[in-house]
Amino acid sequence: MLFLCLISNYIMAILSPVVQNLEEPMTIGMSRKSRELAATGINVISLSLGEPDFDTPDFIKEAGVRAIEENYSHYTPVAGFLELREAVCKKFKRDNHLEYRPNQIIVSTGAKQSLANALMALVGPGDEVIIPAPYWVTYFELVKLAGGTPVVLGSSVETDFKVSALDLENAINDKTRVIMFSSPCNPSGSVYSRSELEAWAEVIAPHNNITVLSDEIYELINYTGQHVSFASIPGMYERTLTINGLSKGFAMTGWRLGYMAGPESIIRACDKVQGQFTSGTCSITQRAAIAALEASPGKVQYMVDTFASRRDLMMGLLGEIPGLKLSTPEGAFYLYPDVSAYFGKSHRGKKLNSSLDISMYLLEEGHVATVPGEAFGTPENIRLSFAASEDNLKEAVRRVAKAFANLS
The string of pLDDT tens digits covering residues 46-95 is 999 889 999 999 999 999 999 999 999 999 999 999 999 999 999 999 99
> According to the model, what pLDDT value does residue 4 have?
52
Which neighbouring-strand residues pair with 260? 106, 243
Q: Which residues of 371-384 are buried (b: 16+ CB within 10 A; e: fewer)?
A: bbbbbbbbbbbbbb
- Residue pair 307/386 in contact (Cβ under 8 Å)? The answer is yes
pLDDT of residue 1: 56
> Mean pLDDT in the chain?
94
Task: Delineate the domains of the chain, giving CATH numbers in brackets.
Answer: 19-49+300-405 (3.90.1150.10), 58-295 (3.40.640.10)
Lowest mean pLDDT among 17-31, 136-150, 268-282, 319-333: 17-31
- The pLDDT > 70 percentage for the chain reads 97
pLDDT per position as a tens digit, 344-390? 999 988 999 999 999 999 999 999 999 999 999 999 999 999 999 99
Q: At a CB cut-off of 8 Å and minimum separation 6, what does 9 contact?
A: none
* Contact residues for 262 (Cβ-Cβ < 8 A; gap 6+): 104, 231, 240, 241, 242
- pTM for the whole thing? 0.93
Strand, helix or coil for residue 211: strand
d(CA 317, CA 332): 19
Distance between CA atoms of 155 and 287, rounded to whole angstroms? 40
Find how far residue 175's CA is from the centre of its chain: 25
Q: Cis (ω within 30 of 0) for the bond into 134?
A: yes
> In whole angstroms, what is the distance from residue 252 CA to residue 245 CA?
9
CB within 8 Å of 322: residues ≥ 6 apart:
341, 404
- Computed over its alpha carbons, how large is the radius of gyration of the chain? 22
Please list, in sequence order, all residues whose beta carbon lies within 8 angstroms of the beta carbon of residue 193, skipping any fewer than 6 positions away: 228
Distance of alpha carbon 40 from alpha carbon 379, whole angstroms:
30
Confidence of residue 138 (pLDDT cuts 50, 70, 90): very high
How many other CB atoms sit within 10 Å of the CB of residue 83? 14
Residue 341 DSSP SS3: helix
- Say if residue 150 is preceded by a cis peptide, omega within 30 of 0: no
pLDDT at 31: 77
Give the whole-angstrom CA distance, residue 331 versus residue 221: 5
